[in-house]
Structure 1
Amino acid sequence: MKKLILPLLLFITVVALGQTKVGGIVLDENGQPVAFANVLFKNSYEGTITNDNGRFYMESDNTHDLLLISFIGYESKEVNLSAKVTYDMEISLKESTEQLDEVVLIAGKQSKKNNPAVDILRKIWAKKRENGVRKFKQYAYDKYEKIEFDLNTIDSALMKRKIFKGLEFVFQDLDTSRITGKTYLPIFLNETFSKVHGDNLLNEEKEEVIGNKNSGFDNNQAIIAFVADLYQDYDIYDNYLKFFDKSFTSPLSRTGVDTYNYALRDSAFIENKWCYNIVYYPRRKNELTFKGDFWVNDTTFAIKNINLQVTKSANINWVKEIYIEQDFDVVNDSVFLLKRDYMLSDFSFQKKEESRGVYGKRTTVYDGYVFDQQKAKEFYKAVGNPYDPNLVIKDDAFWQKNRLEGLNNDEKGIYQLLDTLKTVPKFKSYYNIVSILGSGYVEIDKWNMDIGSVYDVFGYNQAEGPRVRAGLRTYYGENDPWRLEGYMAYGFTDHKFKHGASGKFLLDRKSRLIISGGNRRDIEQLGVSLTATNDVLGRSIASSSLVTVGANNRLTKINLSTFGIEMEPWTNVRIGVGSTFRTLGSALPDDFSLDYVDPTSVTGISSEIRQFDFNAIMIYTPGRKTIGYGVERRGMNDNYSTLLLNYTRGIDGVWGSDFNYNKIQFSYSQPWQVGGFGRLFSTVEIGKTFGEVPLGLLNVIPGNQTFFSNYGTFPNLDFYEFVTDTYVSLHLQHNFNGRLFSRIPLIRKLNLREIIGLRGVWGQLSDENIALSAPASLNTPLQAPDDKMYYEYSIGVGNIFKILRIDFNFRGNYLDSPNARPFSITGTFGFDF
């Protein structure tokens, strides 16, 4: 049925448009697929190469009647095209018995020496900093972007499924992808118009969003943030192109000759410019690479047109296809400027040809280039919220004027389709389920409240036993200027209720002046962080893990009250001051003690700490992008560094506060994209406490007695195994993204990913602090890694069944400590690309 319906629909669609569409498979005489064979419309420069499975799909706005297929070692073959749409072609190539005289066409390993294509590539490298907007001191241009999501591989069987009962009307408007030839249904459209300004002398760039529009989800900034993070800008001249948090080697990279085979296929005039056509494809499977071709000018060596298609063997999850096209305009004899950028991603659970999924398509059009108009440096520093609906929601007249590429009929229909779907109860139910899974909260619209988080409902620890928790928060919209939230919890072993409540209020949007406060009475594991918790709502997994290694009995009863003021005087610089008052005591006194020497006590020992602190904090996150203008904002990226400086002043006498002390802490976290070798994440932490404080106020080296891999902790340390008042720690974790495993034939197809980690800490504990907490040392060792740095290393395997990662952790020293764990296995689940 599918084979009858789809070609008929396609024929009706294109018959009047003068297009040619072809698709099929190229085989050898034994019926085996021929990968990377050349497929061209004869007497044109429009072509493609087959994928790893010998399949191809191609279309042209022009009418063609001959298809040329060639591959070195095989006889070239011409195929007559009797119709404008020809699918399911099966083309067989015969082995060649003669040496080809003409331009060598492409297959197998290509030489790096005496290769004209590689010679041209070297000239591209030499000239790339002179091409495009880099050629000028300053630049500005208009940028129009539309991002669309479509359900694909739609057939009659899918339409008849129960999930679509009552929603059959959505299938009235179907189209066919010009890249894959699959039928699809548009379901979401986002449009953005902006002005971009840049200064190559200052190395600054700023994008001002002028208008933004979403189909059916106006003002839904969560969707905008997701889309913006998914499709970030890139430059094909860069050595590595980042998509879905993975670094792909660019075919124009200086390391490209070690990654790709290149071959000169053709040359022709394009817009009166003589250009060479170079085909490229990967030297090895399972690496993050592309296949495709590009046209490059013979004098400027600027790219005129390029297409990139991710190979099916590439080690990337949930993405079956990535296809990119870029076209450049010839402005004058020496300037080529980006005109249009198109990217298609086929998201699917499987990489099989017939598997269904969702297309994500981004089209970006550039125009209105202006050069060498200087702006002050302050202009680039003033950055506001790019998607403030008060500023960017525009009327239809705005879009008629500023769309640099018009909407086709399918795209126009998305707005009407989503407006209709929002009125259908069944669709609203589906939407609510997805929303709950994504946010963790159940929306109660008529009360303007959310219930949740659903992920915190159940927990277990040795003090409380089984535990349940229910929370509530106010929610009028994503940009609420204030928010109240809280929770109640109950432990079935200690038979006690716990609670937490907080409120935060945005007083000034421009400076992001926020006041906040709250109170929390609960049981917590404080031995999982070097910084004391001031979060009245959060809860670490160490306090709620259903299964732990050894006894998780060093738990603390905490009654914490907080008040704070923070602001953002400069972009990505947050400054805050506040105060806390807390009481701390052991949740299991028979197993864990926070006792300390107290001469004012009748017994000379106190078991409860009462402490008032003043604190000041500065957080700098260069490169961080956020969305929203309310009291809570969402992040749009995760590739930024974080520098934190925290000062705490403990003051005795305030509400019975016990101790005077000063504490200063610094941390620096940085992700590093190491070219094609994956991603390294590093964190350095330094801290010192001045003054005498008991165990409950010292810095505990973060242990991990759960089975979950938790960055920033030491999985072979028990909670409170090391305690310090002065410390320096380092965490390094590198994910090779399968770079090494892809070289091993037996495991290459599993698409596993290798992760290595190294972490260490050095610290001291003064004699005065040891003496102060001597009563606690009866069941808690008071030792610091001051003799030598404590270290661990780990080897991990990720992407097991696409969702599981397992780490094998080894303890490097201090193996003679009581109950030391020399080895541990931890793991984590996740849906990573």
Structure 2
Amino acid sequence: MRKLSKGLVLLLFILMGVGISQPVFAQVTKLRGKVIDADTQEPLPFVNIAFKGTTIGTTTDFDGNYFLETRTPTDSLHISFVGYKGRAFKVLKGTFQTLDIELHSEAVSLQEIRILPGENPAHILLRKIIARKKKNNPSRLESYQYETYTKMEMDLNNIGEDFKNKKIMRQFQFVFDYVDTSVVTGKSYLPVFITESLSDYYYRKSPKLEREVIKASQMSGIEDNASLAQFTGQLHQNINIYDNFIDLFNKGFVSPIADGGLSYYKYYLTDSAYRDGNWSYHMSFKPKRKLDPCFVGDFWVADTTFAIDIMKMRITKDVNLNWVKDLVSTNEYQKLNDSTWFLKKQNLFVDFMLTDRDSTSQMGFFGRKTISYRDVKLNVPIRKEIVKLENNVIVNDDALGKEATYWDNARPFKLSKRESGIYAMVDSIQNVPLYRNIIDIIQTFVTGYYTKGNFEYGPYYKLYSFNEIEGNRFMFGGRTSNDFSTKVMYNAHLAYGDKDNRLKYGLGFLYMINKLPRETFGMQWKHDIHQLGKSPNAFTEGNILASLLKRNPNNKLTMLNQFEAHYEKEWFQGFMNTLKFRYRDISPTPIVPFVSPNGDLPIAGIKASEIELRTRWTRNEKVVMGEFERVHFGGPVPIVNLYLTMGVKNLLGSNHEYFKADLSVDHTLELQPLGKLRYLATASKLFGKVPYPLLSLHEGNETYAFDPYAFNMMNYFEFASDQYVSLSLEHHFHGFILNRIPLFKKLKWRSVVTAKGLWGTLSDKNNGALTNSEAKMIFPAGLSDVKDPYFEASVGIENIFKFFRVDAMWRLNHLEPNPNQDFEEFGIRAMFQMTF
């Protein structure tokens, strides 16, 4: 990932954040504890706990635990449970308190009760909720708009005295005045990153339209960054309890009110009461099986409409999810009219842990997000100026740098005294040299470059490598940093091989004409080695991992002189064109010879001049942008790429005239509870007569690293075509299978399967493998067409030690012995990956 700000790198590293500071104070009261039977010492579930005279309260979970946090408590807490004597306690406002409670049973004289067999009343209520889901789901509405306030915070947790007294923390002693305690976990924490935003959001069902206009945004500890403001703005709508599956950390959790909820949950009807003028029922739920992606929690549902009033969900302890120790989501709704309920507030709390050790001294991170919805309007026409906006998320020109008085009025709640000082404290951390050094290390690891002043040195993984052509390869390179300019970035590199004794180099620039919508212009010159027929995901030339993980001699490299110039224009979010001119001069080697059809006349090189038009289309894609580059996270619809390439004859020495069209469709389908399926379909057609380096040389992989975009059991220079279709399928089961096997259940491994197929043909004029070839160039030994389709498949295990995936792969056909291709029928491939 390139040229991202330090704040954005930190945000991506843990995917959460926060920001605040004001002179008007409120008190935050926090309570947590456990309720038990005074005689048996057994935990009591479903105990009602509420502030006296209010509807602010909670119930104990199945283990008798509770937690409660509010800004508007009374000074008295009331506890009640059927069959037990009620109790009341004084509460200290504005503090954290642990309050463990013992309840004494109460003798009650009851008349005879006759219990007859019948259906669980909770199941009857659940069926009514499911029957009204479509009507109560906000996504059914034709259009709506609202104002939303989003606050996100990242905290360092488990701050103990040992940590405070460490030598490395001497420069940070001033921050410990802001240590607080989490009501959810009881861990101490220290805020280290804050952001908040105020937006107007617009939605229309048909024709589909989504717009978010960010009116105000502030982030502590980093420079004003419109791109980061845009990214954090997109995070406000990611949990809809009315969906059957809720996407959290790329894993589909079963909603407690899913259509098939009875297959995953046990339900308990525990109470009924008036809430804000509505007769409501209280229901608790917990998973039937361990490791299933489910929640434990409770909700209140209104009678008659059977709309959810408030729902609290918490992931189970044994769920197969990496890095996340705990997660709590609270969704509160507001009644707009007699038949429509809409979101009022969402809270998300995540406890990130880097290890599985259950230790009170193990440090980690909290991610906290609060979203408030107000001024909700239904079926109101969206203004024309909003419809005409070119991007889904727009940051107003005056959104950054709002005064403190603006935020006082914008927030739906007042800040506590502690919160009011956090913003300045977090900013102060940035001035500590040690903190800046830590961020530099993280940024170097993520981007591959070390930043010093106006220059970024790297990438570090290309400093040294080796191959059969160059021998030991040494490279030094870099690019200008954001401190040099946020409009133009220059890059350059030098490389030298001690075997071929040749100097290689490259240099170029990228000019940012406009960031939103994106518009760029750039040029690049390269005189270096190149691997023909590699996938876009393969290790780049000079990468040390390509040298260490090779499974065949790395000798099919060619020397390339290449010039590229491009103009890129994003017309609106999701639709982009790139116009590119490319000149290539490719030189042969003894392993990759260029020989004329008569078989005895070597060709010094291939020169080709191309004009290419790229079109990329998708919708509602999640994108994170730095100053020059951006990272795409996909979206709900396929990504369609169309490349149209024209070879121009007699331009810069080129003597090849041709036209080529390439089409690809890439998409990931959520097939919960079975996991997710990613498919990539491609097709290509070349018109004209060209030498084989300009054909489609199908992407092989000659390393032991798994490449999702390549045929991993295919070699380089094995198959070529001038027209082809291919399909790649990869299904991740997310533990659906292995979670049900005792041994693998503990390991938390996950299964994955892939299947890939390719079919292509060569016209006689381009088939350099024919005896009487009409082609411009004879194929090197081992290269042929693929008119007999090629297939390969694999079965793999991922989440090994949380970082590794290993696949057992089979080449299913083209198994005839070939003295010119040393292929494998069966192989093991592995890859490093970080997934939740």
SS in 2 for 1:545: helix
Task: Please tell me whether the aligned partners of residues 619 and 635 of structure 2 are also in contact (alpha carbons under 8 angstroms).
Answer: no
Which residue among 299, 316, 337 is the counterpart of 2:304? 299
Q: 1:167: Cα distance to partner?
A: 0.9
Q: Which residue of 1 aligns with 2:31?
A: 21
Task: Please tell me whether the aligned partners of residues 154 and 365 of structure 2 are also in contact (alpha carbons under 8 angstroms).
Answer: yes
Q: Which residue of 1 aligns with 2:781?
A: 780
Structure 1 window deviating more from structure 2 (457-466 vs 694-703): it is: 457-466
Q: 1:649: Cα distance to partner?
A: 1.4
Q: 1:624: Cα distance to partner?
A: 2.0
Q: Which residue of 2 aligns with 1:664?
A: 661
Q: Which residue identity is paired with 1:296?
A: V
Q: 1:19: Cα distance to partner?
A: 5.0
Structure 1 window deviating more from structure 2 (629-638 vs 753-762): it is: 629-638
Task: Please tell me whether the aligned partners of residues 704 and 716 of structure 1 are also in contact (alpha carbons under 8 angstroms).
Answer: yes
Q: Which residue of 2 aligns with 1:250?
A: 255
Task: Please tell me whether the aligned partners of residues 281 and 301 of structure 2 are also in contact (alpha carbons under 8 angstroms).
Answer: yes
Distance in 2 of aligned mates of 1:729 and 1:315: 34
Q: Which residue of 2 aligns with 1:816?
A: 816
Q: 1:23: Cα distance to partner?
A: 2.0
Task: Please tell me whether the aligned partners of residues 332 and 343 of structure 2 are also in contact (alpha carbons under 8 angstroms).
Answer: yes
Q: 1:753: Cα distance to partner?
A: 1.0
Q: Which residue identity is paired with 2:472?
A: P
Which residue among 225, 230, 234 is the counterpart of 2:239? 234
SS in 1 for 2:742: coil
Distance in 2 of aligned mates of 1:484 and 1:298: 64
Is the counterpart of residue 374 in structure 1 residue 381 in structure 2? yes
Task: Please tell me whether the aligned partners of residues 523 and 556 of structure 1 are also in contact (alpha carbons under 8 angstroms).
Answer: yes
Q: Which residue of 2 aligns with 1:8?
A: none
Question: Cα deviations across residues 766-791 of structure 1 (Å, max 9, x unaligned)?
Answer: 2222246989767532312212x211
SS in 2 for 1:780: coil
Identity of aligned residues (%): 28
Q: Which residue of 1 aligns with 2:480?
A: 474
Task: Please tell me whether the aligned partners of residues 48 and 58 of structure 1 are also in contact (alpha carbons under 8 angstroms).
Answer: no
Q: 1:570: Cα distance to partner?
A: 3.2
Q: 1:118: Cα distance to partner?
A: 2.2
Distance in 2 of aligned mates of 1:81 and 1:159: 34
Q: Which residue of 1 aligns with 2:468?
A: 462
Q: Which residue identity is paired with 2:282?
A: N
Structure 1 window deviating more from structure 2 (705-714 vs 765-774): it is: 765-774
Q: Which residue of 1 aligns with 2:129?
A: 124
Distance in 2 of aligned mates of 1:493 and 1:54: 71
Distance in 1 of aligned mates of 2:186 and 2:411: 27
Q: 1:672: Cα distance to partner?
A: 1.1
Task: Please tell me whether the aligned partners of residues 761 and 791 of structure 1 are also in contact (alpha carbons under 8 angstroms).
Answer: yes
Q: Which residue of 2 aligns with 1:570?
A: 572
Q: Which residue identity is paired with 2:278?
A: K
Question: Cα deviations across residues 52-95 of structure 1 (Å, max 9, x unaligned)?
Answer: x886544564556665689xxxx98988868767648598999x
Distance in 1 of aligned mates of 2:321 and 2:114: 35
Q: Which residue of 2 aligns with 1:196?
A: 201
Q: Which residue of 2 aligns with 1:5?
A: none
Distance in 2 of aligned mates of 1:345 and 1:100: 48
Is the counterpart of residue 383 in structure 1 residue 390 in structure 2? yes
Task: Please tell me whether the aligned partners of residues 40 and 48 of structure 1 are also in contact (alpha carbons under 8 angstroms).
Answer: yes
Distance in 1 of aligned mates of 2:662 and 2:201: 39
Unmatched segments (≥5 aa) in structure 1: 1-15, 105-110
Task: Please tell me whether the aligned partners of residues 671 and 680 of structure 1 are also in contact (alpha carbons under 8 angstroms).
Answer: yes
Which residue among 446, 451, 472 is the counterpart of 2:457? 451
Q: Which residue of 1 aligns with 2:22?
A: none
Question: Cα deviations across residues 30-69 of structure 1 (Å, max 9, x unaligned)?
Answer: 99x97x9444428988434547x88654456455666568
Q: Which residue identity is paired with 2:826?
A: F
Distance in 2 of aligned mates of 1:646 and 1:317: 38
1:430-441 correspondence to structure 2 within 5 Å: 430-441=438-449
Q: Which residue of 2 aligns with 1:13?
A: none
Distance in 2 of aligned mates of 1:758 and 1:551: 27
Distance in 1 of aligned mates of 2:102 and 2:501: 74
Structure 1's 258 and 187: CA in aligned 2 closer, same or farther, altered over 3 A?
same
Structure 1's 566 and 241: CA in aligned 2 closer, same or farther, altered over 3 A?
same
Question: Cα deviations across residues 117-144 of structure 1 (Å, max 9, x unaligned)?
Answer: 2222222222233336557543221100
Q: Which residue of 2 aligns with 1:794?
A: 794
1:90-101 correspondence to structure 2 within 5 Å: none
Structure 1's 469 and 77: CA in aligned 2 closer, same or farther, altered over 3 A?
farther
Q: Which residue of 1 aligns with 2:269?
A: 264
Q: 1:161: Cα distance to partner?
A: 1.9
Count how many residue pairs are aligned between Structure 1 and Structure 2: 790
Q: Which residue of 2 aligns with 1:558?
A: 560
Task: Please tell me whether the aligned partners of residues 626 and 635 of structure 1 are also in contact (alpha carbons under 8 angstroms).
Answer: yes
Structure 1's 808 and 510: CA in aligned 2 closer, same or farther, altered over 3 A?
closer
Q: 1:495: Cα distance to partner?
A: 2.4
Which residue among 323, 327, 338 is the counterpart of 1:318? 323
TM-score, normalised to structure 1, is: 0.86
Distance in 2 of aligned mates of 1:210 and 1:137: 25
Which residue among 472, 483, 492 is the counterpart of 2:489? 483
Is the counterpart of residue 527 in structure 1 residue 538 in structure 2? no
Distance in 1 of aligned mates of 2:468 and 2:80: 72
Structure 1's 637 and 48: CA in aligned 2 closer, same or farther, altered over 3 A?
farther
Which residue among 447, 450, 454 is the counterpart of 1:442? 450
Q: Which residue of 1 aligns with 2:214?
A: 209
Distance in 2 of aligned mates of 1:233 and 1:220: 23
SS in 1 for 2:712: coil
Q: Which residue of 1 aligns with 2:49?
A: 41
Structure 1's 489 and 87: CA in aligned 2 closer, same or farther, altered over 3 A?
same
SS in 2 for 1:166: helix
Q: 1:712: Cα distance to partner?
A: 1.3
Structure 1 window deviating more from structure 2 (378-387 vs 254-263): it is: 378-387
Q: 1:376: Cα distance to partner?
A: 6.3
Q: 1:731: Cα distance to partner?
A: 0.6
Distance in 2 of aligned mates of 1:546 and 1:745: 36
Structure 1 window deviating more from structure 2 (129-138 vs 674-683): it is: 129-138
Is the counterpart of residue 742 in structure 1 residue 739 in structure 2? yes
Is the counterpart of residue 340 in structure 1 residue 371 in structure 2? no
Structure 1's 39 and 827: CA in aligned 2 closer, same or farther, altered over 3 A?
farther
Q: Which residue identity is paired with 1:21?
A: L
Is the counterpart of residue 422 in structure 1 residue 395 in structure 2? no
Q: Which residue identity is paired with 2:420?
A: K
Q: Which residue of 2 aligns with 1:364?
A: 371
Distance in 2 of aligned mates of 1:25 and 1:739: 35
Q: Which residue identity is paired with 1:616?
A: L
Query: Greater relative contact order (Cα 8 A, min sep 6): structure 1 or 2?
Result: 2
Distance in 2 of aligned mates of 1:499 and 1:389: 42
Structure 1's 92 and 691: CA in aligned 2 closer, same or farther, altered over 3 A?
farther
Q: Which residue of 2 aligns with 1:330?
A: 335
SS in 2 for 1:437: helix
Is the counterpart of residue 652 in structure 1 residue 649 in structure 2? yes
Structure 1's 542 and 182: CA in aligned 2 closer, same or farther, altered over 3 A?
closer
Q: 1:528: Cα distance to partner?
A: 1.5
Task: Please tell me whether the aligned partners of residues 103 and 265 of structure 1 are also in contact (alpha carbons under 8 angstroms).
Answer: no
Which residue among 391, 411, 415 is the counterpart of 1:407? 415
Task: Please tell me whether the aligned partners of residues 472 and 498 of structure 2 are also in contact (alpha carbons under 8 angstroms).
Answer: yes
Is the counterpart of residue 759 in structure 1 residue 756 in structure 2? yes
Distance in 1 of aligned mates of 2:621 and 2:373: 25
Q: Which residue of 1 aligns with 2:831?
A: 828
Distance in 1 of aligned mates of 2:139 and 2:98: 43
Distance in 2 of aligned mates of 1:441 and 1:768: 46
Structure 1's 649 and 433: CA in aligned 2 closer, same or farther, altered over 3 A?
same
Structure 1's 241 and 656: CA in aligned 2 closer, same or farther, altered over 3 A?
same
Q: 1:274: Cα distance to partner?
A: 0.6
